[in-house]
Structure 1
Amino acid sequence: MKVGIIGSGGREHALCLSIKKSPRVNKIYCFPGNAGTSDIAENIEIDLSDFNKIKEFSIKNEISLLIVGPEKPLVDGIVDFFKDTEISIFGPDKISSQLEGSKIFTKKICEKHNIPTAKFGIFENANDAISFLDKTQFPLVVKADGLASGKGVYICENKDDANLAIKEVFDGKFGLAKNILIEEFLVGEEMSYFIISDGKEIKGFETAQDHKRVLEGDKGANTGGMGAYSPSRLLNQPLEEKILNKIIKPTINALEEMGSNYKGFLYAGLMIVKDEPYLIEYNVRMGDPECQTILPKLKTDLFEIINACCNENLKDINLEWHEKKSLCIVLCSKGYPDKYNNQILIDNIGNLKLDEDDYFFHAGTKKINDQVYSNGGRVINFVSLSSNFKNSRDKAINLIKNLNWKDGFYRKDIGHKVIDE
């Protein structure tokens, strides 16, 4: 069977590597892919916003299954676009994808269906938002409404911070802003909880904890993710039941009322406050770098899982996992998440020696004349599995040191909350 994977990051390289293991898959195309996917698939340079070209190529090349990695094509309706074809496409439709496409859409669902979340206000202009600051307490959270690649969230300690955040959002730092969200700041511990759904059946798809801040000690600007570990230390059966019954299932039911059956991965960003889960946000796809952290733990054939979701047979699939601790460290271009240079040679990749439980996934990379160059802010993800998180982190750091790319940087403290130094 031929499979197409849409996207170009570390998540898509991880998906590609897992799908490649299936005996039923004989060809993979990546749109547009990266230097890593080019070694195990055929990269196709197509603009991801040009759904017609993706459809024409997929039909011509007899692709049976498309897997959508990033959020923007989902939010823009690529799943709906393929409904008139015989090609299976894995991901939620346009209605369901608004869970990520609009934070306000999600907040209104929470309000209507009593889903626990932070108290919030919605504002259509900067003046009203700034006036609200006099009536609230700090710290608080300011969020851009639309897609912002994980960066449109500000934790504001005081009024000056909040004023700057409001100004940047309405000035278009994350694209056109018609609305802004201001939330109370919840004090607790974050957790990422994943499910996979075929529109009828829901199954948990592991947990992870991302590190969003660029600097060690969880300080500095928000990024797309500097690293992650799996599983989360917080999950237990009573908490998981609360997450499913208070948050996930009411959300799925709300979407059904709107005429949408959720198919695909769903990623709930949660804050756990005194053993109670609160929804921070939804992502309608696998996280990045959480995907790279989780997939190496999966025993079950990923293609069979995704194919079952497309055919509404997920109930017949038993998900099995390795009982190991997985930790991912992201190697970034110097200057990220602000200004950084691209097309810098990474000349030592071919010399890296990986153990059975070591992985590296290309993210912002491209090949030029068979050599690998940087092509983004987050460049390579190093993942190691072992019996404990400290060993996993030590192994990942050793790989980064062996690569010795002088134009990159990384956080050395990923997993600090679960590692006793």
Structure 2
Amino acid sequence: MSAPENTIDILLLGSGGREHALAAKLAESPLCGALYIAPGNGGTLAVGENVALDAEDPAAVADFARETGCGLVVIGPEAPLVAGVADAVRAAGIPCFGPGAEGAKLEGSKRFSKELMARAGIPTAAYGSFTDEESALAYVREQGAPVVVKADGLAAGKGVVVALTLDEALDAVHECFDGAFGAAGSTVVIEEMLTGPECTLLAFTDGKTVRPMATSQDHKRALEGDKGPNTGGMGVYSPVPIVTPEEHEEMCRILNETIAQANREGIDFRGCLYGGFMLTPAGPKVIEYNARFGDPETEVLMPRLASDLVEVMLACAERRLDEVELAWRDEWAVSVVLTSAGYPGPYEKGKVITGIEDAEAMENVTVYHAGTAVNEDGELVTSGGRVLDVTALGDTFEAARDLAYAACEKIDFEGKTLRHDIGLRALRGREAWDE
């Protein structure tokens, strides 16, 4: 698959809604030649070529990129980053968007992340870190509830328990050390529970320059009213109307200081830094970092990004982000996640999906595939817990939200589940978080 001389072939790693959103945005660029997605999903088939490749095997990824002549590798999920895929790709002389293994520890180890924040003086929750259950239990009894109990390593977004009672906190500690999250739970971080609205601010960075993106706010709980277990995300909107200019300035300062600290410590961080913030009465504090684009945040940021994504990612990979300014569309974006019945618990796969074409025929609606596949009969079917992200743009928050839900009604599959209150609280203003 050859491309014109003024384009570059690109390899994108991942299979979720985030990757479909990134793939679609990359494919829009006149700089994009062949686009390979490994392994991709039922939606990425429309914008590139899905390839069978172990995304967590550094040597295999580097070999594929070299053999196909790729001029850029983009790493979507966290696991390949923690595995050192970016290091292997760069060692092969290929530009890569995504931090090396050392930088990925900002997400891969909550203890590492908290210690770096402490060294940089970055505001975050007070915490304790433990490698044995008895010490952790003693700390919980001493602190009391509420607290937040986190498995130190990667646990697919499910290793965090907001414990409102002492018993819940003790049970969460026991669950971690009992092997519920594998090696990720061998170290446990226990934090004070911060209060206030949550806000996400992502940034492009080349390890020196930081270019913040637009604000967004995810809805992590499975059920309406922010109840039920945590999920990978049930819906999201951008921008966040309740953020004050002062809070936004402080969040940007924190992301800049984080990259400056990483630089001081010799950590090469080229890619996307995800800042998860709590807007506390004392100002924004970091809840967590991710070392990559968020999912579903990407699904509202990419439609609003007016800049050429290939150009921006190459500038990050080649350490010349200072040459690039980001441009954003003025519209609001709201994305609602359609999930399989039972998610985030057990769910069935293989349910035939209909109505996506009808939804996308609506102006300003995009449907990103997350957990989809094509079966032997050529039908699009469910293959994951989070199945689709239905994203709409609008001139107002209300217009974008109404359009997203109207588009959701067009789509059907057996067991389709969704939250109907995405963005409702923010429409009521800041005081809604005091209720």
Structure 1 residues 303-334: Cα deviation after superposition (integer angstroms, max 9, x where no partner): 11111112222122221111111111000010
Helix, strand or coil for the counterpart of 1:409?
coil
AA of the residue aligned to 2:30: P
- Taking the TM superposition and a 5 Å limit, the aligned residue runs for 1:84-233 are 84-176=91-183, 177-233=185-241
Query: What CA distance in whole angstroms lies between the structure 2 residues aligned with 1:347 and 1:244?
Result: 42
Correspondence for 1:288: 295
Query: What CA distance in whole angstroms lies between the structure 2 residues aligned with 1:351 and 1:251?
Result: 44
Q: How far did residue 371 of structure 1 move?
A: 1.2
Query: What CA distance in whole angstroms lies between the structure 2 residues aligned with 1:398 and 1:190?
Result: 26
Q: How far did residue 24 of structure 1 move?
A: 1.5
How high is the TM-score relative to the length of structure 1?
0.96
Correspondence for 1:28: 35
Correspondence for 1:398: 406
Is this contact kept in 1: 2:17–2:388, CA < 8 A? yes
Q: How far did residue 353 of structure 1 move?
A: 4.0
Query: What CA distance in whole angstroms lies between the structure 1 residues aligned with 2:259 and 2:355?
Result: 46
Query: What CA distance in whole angstroms lies between the structure 1 residues aligned with 2:360 and 2:367?
Result: 10
Task: Give the stretch that moved more between structures: 342-351 or 7-16.
Answer: 342-351
The alignment-based identity, stated in percent, is 38
Query: What CA distance in whole angstroms lies between the structure 1 residues aligned with 2:329 and 2:264?
Result: 37
Stretches of structure 1 lacking an aligned partner (at least 5 in a row):
none
AA of the residue aligned to 1:257: R
- How many correspondences in the alignment? 420
Residue of structure 1 aligned with 2:343, choices 336, 352, 365: 336
CA RMSD of aligned residues (A): 1.5
Structure 1 residues 152-183: Cα deviation after superposition (integer angstroms, max 9, x where no partner): 11111112211221122112222212210111
Is this contact kept in 2: 1:7–1:68, CA < 8 A? yes
Query: What CA distance in whole angstroms lies between the structure 2 residues aligned with 1:24 and 1:179?
Result: 44
Query: What CA distance in whole angstroms lies between the structure 2 residues aligned with 1:162 and 1:147?
Result: 20
Q: How far did residue 249 of structure 1 move?
A: 2.8
- Taking the TM superposition and a 5 Å limit, the aligned residue runs for 1:71-86 are 71-86=78-93
Is this contact kept in 1: 2:366–2:391, CA < 8 A? yes
Residue of structure 2 aligned with 1:61, choices 34, 58, 68: 68
Correspondence for 1:257: 264
AA of the residue aligned to 1:238: E
Q: How far did residue 18 of structure 1 move?
A: 0.4
How high is the TM-score relative to the length of structure 2?
0.93
Q: How far did residue 234 of structure 1 move?
A: 3.4
AA of the residue aligned to 2:409: K
- The answer as to 2:381 corresponding to 1:376 is no
Is this contact kept in 2: 1:347–1:371, CA < 8 A? no
Q: How far did residue 227 of structure 1 move?
A: 0.7
Q: How far did residue 350 of structure 1 move?
A: 3.9
Task: Give the stretch that moved more between structures: 208-217 or 57-66.
Answer: 57-66
Q: How far did residue 199 of structure 1 move?
A: 1.9
Is this contact kept in 2: 1:239–1:275, CA < 8 A? no
Q: How far did residue 390 of structure 1 move?
A: 2.1
Q: How far did residue 419 of structure 1 move?
A: 2.3
AA of the residue aligned to 1:110: M
Task: Give the stretch that moved more between structures: 27-36 or 366-375.
Answer: 366-375
Correspondence for 2:277: 270
Query: What CA distance in whole angstroms lies between the structure 2 residues aligned with 1:353 and 1:132?
Result: 52
Is this contact kept in 1: 2:223–2:419, CA < 8 A? yes
Is this contact kept in 2: 1:252–1:261, CA < 8 A? no
Correspondence for 1:47: 54
Query: What CA distance in whole angstroms lies between the structure 2 residues aligned with 1:400 and 1:356?
Result: 14
Is this contact kept in 2: 1:103–1:146, CA < 8 A? yes
Stretches of structure 2 lacking an aligned partner (at least 5 in a row):
1-7, 430-435
Residue of structure 1 aligned with 2:26, choices 19, 25, 40: 19
Structure 1 residues 29-77: Cα deviation after superposition (integer angstroms, max 9, x where no partner): 0000000001111000112222222222222211111100001111111
